[in-house]
A = this chain, B = another copy of it.
């Protein structure tokens, strides 16, 4: 894909974990703006488990809603993760079709104490993970990627036949714990089950690109591959590796937020190119609108850039990348320099229990287990020379002072103008879980929710 397209080695997601990043992708806005964050503690990560009450606010404009203005038909295949209560349903937020799940494919594998996650086709559930959609914990076998692939291929064929412009959000999750692959891929990689899952995704992406070629719509179809967070090293080595980058998912080090990224559009994007443009998952929002001939909304701040100048003319645009945990700005990258205003991996308490976001890595004063403030004198790294964030610049160096002079006004301007959205990930309630999703009656799979008891969500890191 990269050989036929453009590789973005300096591409970032919007948050070091799943649902805030996905909300940012679909709104073009930082989680701090679209509400996908918590204020339940300082610098706490939050996401969308079953008990979360919040989700994507109706006031947010999602990419598929906007693309309707240019006649696009949109489908999400796979993980939604922007809320599981009825008002947050993806078909209420611009998608025309859905096959997949509102949350991750976590257990609990016992649908009495906590329901297993439902799988939807459009408005109604068609089963639950570990029930109608099995994932074998012991062998790692599951056919989900193959099912998601068929959904994608079928959607593309139908839209092409109907001559509809289309937006497919193919949100596969095989590399999320518990990692899975289908039988033909299990045991085929050098890297265990995680490698098998990556190979199956790779093969499936190939099949999607091949279909576009067979249908002769490649020159009219823009494809982008990326991820919503770095590998979760807490479950390594089974579930991944962040190569040269520091730490993993949950952290605002490069291993948490720097992502593989490839743009593919034969005939438009030149083949085999590498762009050093700093890119963000939020840019996919703005770039997609631009491709459809639409303007981004003008009544709100949009963080995404239009990447077409970078892709088509090789331009390099200066722009910051912000790294948040909750409502705390942890770090910023500008050009090749990254400044950390706060450093934290996880608490000593968690770390002593064996929860390690940076296994085998230890950069003194950087991979800290207490929240260390550096807002006056940030730790600054040159990510080109030092992609692993191991050598902070000397505070006394001219280079440090010059960089600080450039970064300070960018951060001040960002923080002064920032109007945080209503935090969606503060309140939890067992009663809002997926007990009785629409369609459960037909399948005889409705469960009785417990009494409604709203509580402050507990976010450990």
The answer, yes or no, to whether A276 is at the interface (CB within 8 Å) is: yes
Q: Which residues of B contact A391 (CB under 8 A)?
A: 236-237, 359
Q: Quick one: which of B191, B242, B386 contacts A385, CB cutoff 8 A? A: B191
A394 in contact (CB, < 8 A): no
Binds B, one of A98-106, A199-207, A360-368: A360-368
Give the chain B neighbours of A386 by CB distance below 8 A.
Answer: 236-237, 241
Cβ-defined partner of A384 (8 Å) among B190, B382, B387: B190
For A386, give the chain B residue with the smallest CB separation.
B237
A residues near B (Cβ < 8 Å) are 3, 189-192, 194-195, 236-238, 241-244, 246, 276, 336, 359-363, 382, 384-391
Name the one of B194, B236, B361, B389 contacting A362, with C-beta atoms under 8 angstroms.
Answer: B361
**Assembled-state Cα–Cα distance A244/B191 (Å):** 13
Contact among B191, B238, B360, B384 for A191, CB-based, below 8 A: B384
Most buried by B among A336, A363, A385, A388: A385
Closest to A240 in B: B385
- Residue contact B190 to A237, C-beta cutoff 8 Å: no
B residues near A385, Cβ cutoff 8 Å: 191-192, 194-195, 237-238
Contact A190 B276 (CB under 8 A): yes
Q: Quick check: B359 and A360 within 8 Å, CB to CB?
A: no
Cα distance A276–B387 in the bound complex, in angstroms: 27
Q: Quick one: which of B195, B244, B359 contacts A243, CB cutoff 8 A?
A: B244
26 contacts between A and B (CB under 8 A): A3-B3, A189-B384, A190-B336, A190-B384, A191-B384, A192-B384, A194-B385, A195-B384, A236-B386, A236-B391, A237-B391, A238-B385, A241-B386, A241-B387, A241-B388, A242-B244, A243-B243, A244-B244, A359-B390, A359-B391, A360-B362, A360-B388, A360-B390, A361-B361, A361-B362, A362-B362
Smallest beta-carbon distance A356→chain B, Å: 10
Q: Is the CB of B241 within 8 A of A241?
A: no
11 new A-B contacts at CB < 8 Å, known A189-B384, A360-B388: A190-B336, A192-B382, A236-B390, A237-B391, A238-B385, A243-B243, A359-B390, A360-B390, A361-B361, A361-B362, A362-B362
In the A-B complex, the 3 residue pairs with the smallest Cβ-Cβ separation, listed nearest first, are A360-B390, A192-B385, A237-B386
Distance to closest chain B CB from A228 (angstroms): 21
Q: Which residues of B contact A390 (CB under 8 A)?
A: 236-237, 359-360
- Quick check: B360 and A246 within 8 Å, CB to CB? yes
Among residues of B, the one whose C-beta sits closest to the C-beta of A233 is B390
CA distance A336 to B189 in the complex (A): 11
Distance in Å: Cβ of A176 to nearest Cβ of chain B? 17
Q: Which residues of B contact A336 (CB under 8 A)?
A: 190
Alpha-carbon distance between A359 and B189 when the two chains are bound, in angstroms? 30
| A382 and B237 contact, CB distance less than 8 A | yes
Pick from A336, A362, A382 the residue with the most CB of B within 10 Å: A362
A289 CB to nearest B CB, Å: 29
Cα distance, A244 to B195, chains bound together (Å):
15
Residue of A237, A242, A336, A359 with highest tally of chain B CB at under 10 A: A237
Task: Report B-chain residues with C-beta under 8 Å of the C-beta of A190.
Answer: 276, 336, 384
* Bound CA span A361–B389, Å: 11
Report the Cα distance A390→B385, complex, angstroms: 24
CA distance A441 to B276 in the complex (A): 52
A363 — which chain B residues lie within 8 A by C-beta? 360
The residue of chain B having its C-beta at the shortest distance from the C-beta of A366 within the complex is B360
Chain B nearest CB: distance from A206 CB in Å? 14
Chain B residue at minimal CB-CB distance from A272? B3
Smallest beta-carbon distance A186→chain B, Å:
14
